[in-house]
Chain A
Amino acid sequence: DGGITQSPKYLFRKEGQNVTLSCEQNLNHDAMYWYRQDPGQGLRLIYYSQIVNDFQKGDIAEGYSVSREKKESFPLTVTSAQKNPTAFYLCASSIEGTPGETQYFGPGTRLLVL
């Protein structure tokens, strides 16, 4: 299944709370990505990282933050500034992060707001 794990499978957030979604890979891939999946909208890129200690905003980065302190880990924090966080979040990785590479996806985390 690609060696990418995401936890937890389900996550509940209260109003005003920050929550962090975990993504770990043992594929020795340099590049990692976070996508948000909403019904009828496909996948939209939140953040991506091509190398340790470097990351770039995607199309919908507002209300989210990331870190890339280790090659195998790329956690995503959904902050209280994200007003509509309910969605399915997918983490992915690729070998180098160059255009045209295949991306390998994790099983996803479903975030729900209480």
Chain B
Amino acid sequence: AQRVTQPEKLLSVFKGAPVELKCNYSYSGSPELFWYVQYSRQRLQLLLRHISRESIKGFTADLNKGETSFHLKKPFAQEEDSAMYYCALSEDAGGTSYGKLTFGQGTILTVHP
């Protein structure tokens, strides 16, 4: 069974500092990986997915299959980045999970002024 682990429940940084939210996964195949974000008083929404290989709001994430990690990074954090971040995994196209997502426990990021 797949599993997603986010080791940090809370992460605090100052504005302008680099930030890295950690995500490790266990899955025997080739997973699809996502980062979802929930800002205060807003609904959960997709931030980025590894197959897109794009930068959203300055965030990037690289899939490292050797280390089974998908850490989220931003070189200069902003106060508006404060939110709950979830790493999530979906089986690859040959799976039978019907698009089921397995979520990590979430990391609350606080960016101080």
B-binding residues in A (CB < 8 A) = 1-2, 31, 33, 35, 40-45, 48, 50, 56, 58, 90, 92, 94, 96-108
Contacts and interface: CB of A to CB of B under 8 A. Distances in A.
The 6 closest A-B pairs by CB, nearest first: A100-B32, A42-B103, A105-B44, A43-B103, A97-B99, A42-B105
Interface residues of B, number: 27
Nearest to A49: B98
B55 interface: no
Interface string B97-113: 11111111110000000
A104 B46 CA distance: 8
Interface of B: 4, 6, 9, 32, 34, 43-46, 49, 51, 86, 90-93, 95, 97-106
Nearest to A90: B44
Contact of B43 (A43, A99, A100, A108): A108
Nearest to A38: B105
Nearest to A6: B43
B46 A102 contact: yes
A102 B52 CA distance: 12
